[in-house]
Amino acid sequence: MSCPLLPPCVLAGLLLACVYTALCTLDCTPRKRVPYERNHLKVFREEGISNYSSMLMREDLGVLMLGAREAIFALDINDISVAKAKVTWKVTQMKQNECTYKGKNPDTECRNYIRTLHQINESVMYVCGTNAFSPACDYIAYVGGQLKLKGRQEEGKGKCPFDPFQRSSSIMADGDLYSATILNFLGSEPAILRNSLTVLRTEFTSFWLNEPNFIHMDVIPESENNPEGDDDKLYIFFSENAVEYDFYSRLVVSRVARVCKGDRGGQRTLQRKWTSFLKASLDCPVSGDILPYVLQDVFLLRHSDWRKSIFYAAFTSQGSNEVFSAVCAYSVMDINKVFSHGKYKTPVTVEASHVKWVMYNGDLPVPRPGSCINNAARASGIRSSLDLPDKTLQFVRDHPLMDDSVKPLTGQPLLVRKGVLFTRLVVDRATALDGQPHLVMFVGTVLVAKAVNYNGEMHIIEELQLFRSPEPISVLRVSSSTGQVYAGSASGVVQIPMADCHRYSSCLDCVLARDPYCAWDLGTHRCTPSPRFTKDDELVQSLKEGDPSRCPDPVPIRAKKKTLALGNNIRLPCVLDSSLAQVQWRLATQLLIPTSGKYSIQADGLLIYNASAADTGLYTCESVERPAGRQYRRTLALPDVVPVTSPAWHRSGLVAMEVSVTMLSVLLVALLLWNWYKGHLPLRGRCRQHPRKQPRSAGHGHPAIYPLRQHATLDSTEEAQARQFLHAHSNYGNGLNTGVFKYIMDESEI
């Protein structure tokens, strides 16, 4: 989408941060933190495959090409959990043995890591892998839903790194492969190359590249609608050890370099070398830090007018105990201005062997060193770089570094965070209900943060944990047509929808999220993806102000009973749905202040220590959020605390216990009376007869049998029992019974 006027586009689309220091601290807090357990994202991983580190968007084919260790996949671009095709590319046993013999690990380094994926035509792609520290390239086709390697392997040196864990970058432009990588096994020959019929590369000198770490490269079509007849440019972003600073230890600086796409090298000087290679420092100043930040990733947000294209770069701090990360934006025109009109640095020898870099103040040769062939050069008879004079070529060979550095578009970072390391970055242009483009950044760490800048205020909408065990994000890609972001790491790939509006449960939550992809639908009472280029009165969205005044009144919160045991601790639950909100607790109308040690306000509720009767009553948990300086309150919970002894169920329990005790007492008395009636219990009040002497047994040692008392009154049952026992004794005496029974009819004999 093109903007009719430059100033509005600059204000809205370039993420101005004129009041950054006042509105965003050094540690911007995400409004929502979404843990892995609450993420319902589409994931792709395959057993035995790892290092998903290269991606190629093929929206025309409906697939996401994915390069991993010894495998290439074609995933459904709308659902990456579906693998449409797969092809393996393993190293030969001979190559693996050679790699192991050279001292590399056979299980990790001596494998084939796919590091380069580029489109050639509608169905054919170019793929390169590390191939056990012996880079190789091939062609791969996706036809009829199948992937197939052509089997036309080529030398991959200069197109793909040897080391699978070394950063590199490449791009395909007009059939030529441009790459920034290492040219040898030892990793000591860095180069920026064009692999074509006319191969060009950088000089092997520390003046040009000093132990670089290549990050990104892109082509800007600066020849389009250019009145000066200039050439297209290739911009290369990297970090390297500085040669211009005098420190006791090595200092890493961030750079942007530029070469002309039509460069053909020099005729005598710089033969088959870039004649247009220049480099400059990238500044991303963070308040309080002296050492420069180190570049980690770059994303080009293209515009239909190349002059309005913006590079976004992620940086991390160096040489500090505390880790900081930042994002800065750079205009293509600002970079172009440094190379086309800036001063050069020159090395000066001091104290015999020491070299100091200072600004060059002498006369410059004509044409200007490092410039592309334009209308002015053609007018003077210089048709290509082969026609450049040696004086110009010698100067650019010895003075590749610019004295001026590239400043960020806003003068300061767009985003600064403390305690996290930014690894990857992509940017999408979202058109909201207000009709303006808002640039949304997706920043990878071990998580993925979604952030946007409103009038200089950096706002992190949410932060997502993509993997159960957090791991660094190694690749990020964005597709505006599908509305998806794709994140790759060592263990898998995750698909993230840009408009994940179901996370917002209420109108207030949806509007205060200030998410340009989401709006509250008054008709359906849901937070839904906001349509582009249309305005609907039923949709509520307020991005810059965060004003939810159009939201309907929330449904009243019902009070919930919470019993309180005196003398114990009690927790009243209340979970905030925004990390930017503050929680306030009230008992009746009194605001609770956790300074006395009586209360502790925690993330999941209020903790009351040593509760007493004074702690009973109706509590109110309120969320207080202040977007854009305004304050909004929302009631989240109403716990009603009552004593544990007061409910009716406790009184009925006491009554039931009393009835039970009474019944047990009656049963016990009845049992005692029954035993007394049966004569099983002795009565101390009755007169006892003296015990008579027991007669001797009548033979065989058997016990004597006492005759029944004549005066005893027996009923028929007792008489029958007595006769039964007498009969049993007589049987025992006859050897018919083994038991011994003694029936006593007189209580005095007990």
C-alpha–C-alpha distance, residues 243 and 539, integer Å: 56
* Separation of CA 468 from chain center: 10
**What type of residue sits at position 440?**
V
Task: Please write down the HEC assignment for all residues of 581-649.
Answer: CEEEEEECCEECCCCCCCEEEECCEEEECCCCHHHCEEEEEEEEECHHHCCEEEEEECEEEEECCCCHH
Cα dihedral sign, 135-136-137-143: negative
Q: Which of 28, 80, 29, 12 is nearest to 52 (CA)?
A: 80
Pair 290, 178 in one domain: yes
Cβ atoms of residues 300 and 426 within 8 Å: no
Pair 508, 543 in one domain: yes
Q: What value does the mean pLDDT take over residues 475-498?
A: 95
Over residues 29-73, the pLDDT tens digits come to: 899 999 998 888 999 999 999 999 899 999 999 999 999 999 999
Pair 338, 223 in one domain: yes
251 domain-assigned: yes
3-state class (DSSP) for residue 164: coil
Any alpha helices (H) in 5-91, and if so which ranges?
A: 6-13, 20-23
Cβ atoms of residues 318 and 337 within 8 Å: no
Q: What is the CATH number of the domain that holds 377?
A: 2.130.10.10
Please indicate, yes or no, whether the overall pTM of this predicted structure exceeds 0.75. yes
Cβ atoms of residues 67 and 115 within 8 Å: yes
Q: Which has more pLDDT, 534 or 73? A: 73
Pair 191, 290 in one domain: yes
Pair 174, 79 in one domain: no
Which range, of 128-137, 396-405, 452-461, 625-634, averages the lowest pLDDT? 625-634
Over residues 360-373, the pLDDT tens digits come to: 999 999 999 999 99
User: HSE (CB half, 13 Å, CA atoms) of 183?
Assistant: 14
7 domain-assigned: no
Q: Which domain holds residue 199?
A: 167-294+334-410
C-alpha–C-alpha distance, residues 508 and 474, integer Å: 35
Over residues 652-665, the pLDDT tens digits come to: 555 667 777 788 88
313 domain-assigned: no
Q: What value does the mean pLDDT take over residues 605-616?
A: 89
Whether residue 20 has pLDDT greater than 60: no
689 domain-assigned: no
Whole-number pLDDT of residue 338: 97
Q: What value does the mean pLDDT take over residues 737-749?
A: 41
585 domain-assigned: yes
Residues in Cβ contact with 36 at an 8 Å cutoff, skipping those fewer than 6 apart: 465, 466, 467, 468
Pair 267, 180 in one domain: yes
**Which of 510, 528, 554 is the last residue before a domain boundary?**
554
Pair 385, 267 in one domain: yes
Cβ atoms of residues 520 and 527 within 8 Å: yes
Pair 387, 438 in one domain: no
* Separation of CA 78 from chain center: 21
Pair 129, 178 in one domain: no
65 domain-assigned: yes
Over residues 536-586, the pLDDT tens digits come to: 788 999 998 888 989 998 888 888 998 888 888 899 999 888 888 889 999
18 domain-assigned: no
Whole-number pLDDT of residue 111: 96
Whether residue 193 has pLDDT greater than 50: yes
Strand ranges in 286-335 using DSSP code E only, listed in sequence order: 294-301, 310-316, 324-331
Q: Is the bond preceding 367 in cis, omega lying within 30 degrees of 0? A: yes
Pair 193, 342 in one domain: yes
In the chain, the number of structural domains is 5
303 domain-assigned: no
C-alpha–C-alpha distance, residues 302 and 299, integer Å: 9
